[in-house]
Amino acid sequence: MRDVVLHVGPELAATPHVRQDAAGLRDQQLRATEIGAAHDAVSRSGGSSSGGSSPARNSLRQPDPMRRVDSSSSLLHYFGEIKKLDMSVVASEIEGPTAAKPEPEPEVPPRITVHTKMHINAMVCAGLAAVLIMSYYGSITTILRYKRWYAVVVLLLVPVGAYFFSFAVNTAVCGVFSVFLGGTSPLVQNTQNYSSIKTPIPRGAKLPQIIVQMPVYKESLEETIQLSYHNVKRAMDYYTSKGGRVKFIVCDDGFQVISPDEAVARSNFYTKHGIAYVARPAANRRGTFKKASNLNYQLAISQLVASLMKQQPGLTAEAALEAVWEQWGREFVAQGDLTMDDDCLILLIDADTKVPEACMYNTVGEFLQCPEVAYTQHYTTPFTEQNRNYWEGYVSNFTRTIYFQGIAVSTAFGDTSPLVGHNAFLRWSALRAIGYTDETCRPGEVKVWGEDSVSEDFDMYIRLASVGSFGRYVMYTGDEFQEGISLTYMDEVVKFKKFAYGACELLFNPFREWISKGPINKKFRLYMANKNIRWYQKSSMLAYLSSYLAMASAFYFCVLEGVMSVVDASWHDYFMMRGFDVMLTCTIIFAGIGTFAGGIFYQWRCKAAEQTPSIFKLCWDNIKWMPATALFFASVLFPVTEVCFIYFFGMKASWGATAKEVQNKTSWQALSETLLGYKWEYLLYFVMLGAYSVCLWKFDLGLYKGWSMMSFCCGHILGPILLNPTITALTW
């Protein structure tokens, strides 16, 4: 028989524990039941009053009786007065051990359905339809009145202009909605594509393996790669402490490009910390944007290693990797265990990334609770220490605006979650489901990321949606997901050129393919035909893509305005919107409605639930960056035009890696680098200004008609200089 220890109340603290065997305890339970019945009889007859005494009352004062008060397992101990034991003895403990009571299943936060974005985009479409009708009516009546039949070409440009204007209309409607109609409740709840509340892990679920995948190039080992690894290591240790397994794999595209000493330093660092890595050869790297092919290279080797280990049980990961190395002609350098579980998750980060400590453990519930979730994109903020000058402050503010106002608010109100391409968790099985092969694949190689597109993340988003998978934008991990920003003006311009090139890729084919494939890209047709994406979500994406095409068309419309001002001034007055009017409209919509309504007022409403925000501070935080914003977007138009021209005419585009570390330069060195980097552009701008000056003198155009040409050239001349903090610091 097992012994049972009864811990009595504090009055018996000095009394030894009462030890009884099970049989004796059952006898005392029976005696306690009889005494309890007598006690109840006395209580009903009034014997429990202070003045009376009865045998039953006296019997209750005996020191040893114990009784069971109900069908539960609680036992009471009486010493003159009724005392409850500090610890109950459960009957099942006497009979023997049984299964513990199962823990309740964690409650999953409900996901609400939000149709706000549908209503907003319906109003946007109605507004664009009204613009089209008024434009056609005005153009047709003017053609009939002035008998300029060659102006019929304007009727073909009206739909194009309406599409270019769609992003501005969308911004205006969203701004007005946020002030008068919009609520903030979807931002603090969970929707289908947005998570503000953590999704719990199902009880008893096995934590999936997580692969941290970090592509690197020529970044500094000490200043970038090491810092990112040690930051992510905190999250890896936390997930491991909860029972999970994590691997860190580096896709090192710079290993065979940098100097031998730097390569040895990287290899030693990887070996010391148990980091697996793959470094492909420097020559014949496929893909328009090398990041996609870099990721594919590592994933292909991992799949081949896993396949060999399944075919040959007992084969180690090291031996399988060596076999693949021999099979691929010893062209790559690799080390470590590259195997990946079939149900693992991939945390894709950049070389300059910081992550929250509990991000892995907090995110896996999204994938375990919903098999259709293929990725989670996390709210990201810029590095707080990268605010050393006004340029970094401006880019940091712009980045926060994009991730919150541009993505979080839009996704919470019904849009789909974008896939940015870093700071995202990816389901490996979902990626394999959309894998593909092409003529460049080797035996057994399967590609995941699209190598023929600059926007490999958007290509991935479209292909995942085609098989019914979707993603979620996660906010509950806080603002500790951080990324590096563009440290120079040139890097930010290169980033916008990539975005514009990607927008052209997604929408149109190059001119040489229009006869065989048509003008519209096949991926875009599949996207529009996808029934898993709602119509208003598609219209939001179309409006976003139109912004890059509108910027690219600015140069051509400036030239057209200048030519028409000279050839036929009256035709220009009646058939074209003047550049000054365009500038005024954009200022009202983006700086006025966008900044004050969508930015300041909505931020104030969102923060009011958590704290008492200062409306004046919010105003200043947004207004102080407006001059830099206006100058930057005035100076990025021609680079966007240039890269779109390159795409449509089938020219080769090249992209350099952005700088991750600050380079110490004098103002003269920075100015010389800027002038040399934009020498041909500066020549074009000065030629345009010279031609415009001659037209002003010869044809008496006036500033109002020629505003587009002057603002276009001045913005592009001053932007690269004034937005370079090294130049304006005047350090010689």
**Residue 418 belongs to domain with CATH number:** 3.90.550.10
pLDDT confidence of residue 433: 93
Does 86 share its domain with 228? Answer: no
Of the candidates 505, 497, 554, the residue with the CA atom closest to the CA atom of residue 164: 554
What pLDDT is stored for residue 68 in this prediction? 41
Residue 429 in any domain: the answer is: yes
The DSSP H or E segment spanning 83 is: strand 81-84
Q: What is the pLDDT of residue 346?
A: 98
Residue 248 lies in a domain: yes
Instruction: Look at strands 345-348 and 424-427 and give their pairing.
Output: antiparallel
Does 291 fall in a domain?
A: yes
Range with the largest mean pLDDT of 590-594, 644-648, 706-710: 644-648
Percent of the chain exceeding pLDDT 90 equals: 37
Model-level pTM? 0.81
CA 481 to chain centre: 9
Burial of 335 (0-12, 13-18, 19+ CB in 10 A): middle
- Cβ proximity of 471 and 373 under 8 Å: yes
Burial classification of residue 101, based on how many CB atoms lie within 10 Å of its CB (0-12 exposed, 13-18 middle, 19 or more buried): exposed
Q: Which helix (H) or strand (E) holds 295?
A: helix 290-311
Distance from the Cα of residue 428 to its chain's centroid: 18
Give the pLDDT score at 619: 77
Is residue 86 domain-shared with residue 215, that is, in the same domain? no
Question: CA-CA distance, 404 to 415, in Å (whole number)?
Answer: 13
Asked if residue 424 and residue 286 are part of one domain, the reply reads yes
pLDDT at 409 over 90: no
For 31, 59, 682, 686, the CA distances from 38, given in Å and listed in that order, are 11, 9, 107, 111
Expressed as residue numbers, the domain containing 359 is 206-483
The burial class, CB within 10 Å (0-12 / 13-18 / 19+), for 153 is exposed
Euclidean distance between CA atoms 406 and 594, whole angstroms: 11
Number of domains, the chain: 2
Question: Quick check: 311 pLDDT over 80?
Answer: yes
The per-residue pLDDT for 2 is 41
Coil/strand/helix, residue 696 = helix
Cβ-based neighbours of 246, under 8 Å, separated by 6 or more: 209, 210, 211, 212, 236, 239, 240, 360
User: 81: which strand partners?
Assistant: 79
Q: Where are the alpha helices (DSSP H) in 402-534?
A: 409-412, 428-433, 456-466, 489-507, 514-517, 522-529
Q: What is the pLDDT of residues 266-292, one digit of tens each?
A: 999 999 999 999 999 988 777 667 888
Could you give the angle at which helices 489-507 and 637-648 cross, rounded to 10 degrees? Answer: 40
Say which range, 32-46, 159-173, 224-238, 287-301, has the weakest mean pLDDT.
Answer: 32-46
Highest-confidence segment of 208-212, 491-495, 703-707: 208-212
Per the structure block, which two tokens stand in for 523? 């991926």
- Domain stops at, among 95, 118, 140: 95
The tokens for 1 are 């028989």
- Helices within 20-165 (DSSP H only): 22-44, 55-59, 91-95, 116-146, 153-164
User: Does any domain span residue 699?
Assistant: no
pLDDT of residue 622: 77
Q: Where are the alpha helices (DSSP H) in 576-678?
A: 579-586, 602-608, 615-623, 626-635, 637-648, 667-677
Mean pLDDT of 425-440: 92
The C-alpha atoms of residue 529 and residue 252 are separated, in whole angstroms, by 38
Domain match, 268 and 392 both: yes
CA distance 333 to 324: 11
Reading the block at residue 255, the tokens are 């290993």
Contact call for residues 416 and 470 (beta carbons, < 8 A): yes
Q: Looking at residue 605, what is its pLDDT?
A: 65
What does the pLDDT read at residue 353? 92
Domain end call among 51, 75, 95: 95
713 within a domain of the structure (yes/no):
no
In Å, the largest CA–CA distance within the chain is 128
Distance between CA atoms of residues 559 and 517, nearest Å? 31
Whether 639 and 497 have beta carbons less than 8 Å apart is answered as yes
Domain boundary among 440, 463, 483: 483
Q: Does residue 393 share a domain with residue 246?
A: yes
pLDDT per position as a tens digit, 83-140: 343 444 444 444 444 445 566 777 888 888 888 888 888 888 888 888 888 888 877 8
In a domain, 186, yes or no: no
Is residue 274 in a domain?
yes
Q: Which two tokens stand for residue 560?
A: 């057209």
C-alpha–C-alpha distance, residues 643 and 648, integer Å: 9
| 3-state secondary structure string across 248-285 | EEEEECCCCCCCHHHHHHHHHHHHHCCCEEEECCCCCC
What is the number of helices (H) and of strands (E) in the chain?
A: 29, 19
In a domain, 513, yes or no: no
Mean of all residue pLDDT scores within the chain: 80
pLDDT digits (tens, 9 = 90+) for 101-113: 566 777 888 888 8
**The two three-digit tokens of residue 417, written as one number:** 């979650």
Distances in whole angstroms, Cα of residue 622 to Cα of each of 102, 404, 591, 617: 53, 14, 10, 9
DSSP state of 11: G
CA angle, residues 527, 529, 533, in degrees to nearest 5: 65
Residues 229 and 90 in one domain: no
Q: What value does the mean pLDDT take over residues 235-254?
A: 96
Q: Which amino acid is at 718?
A: L
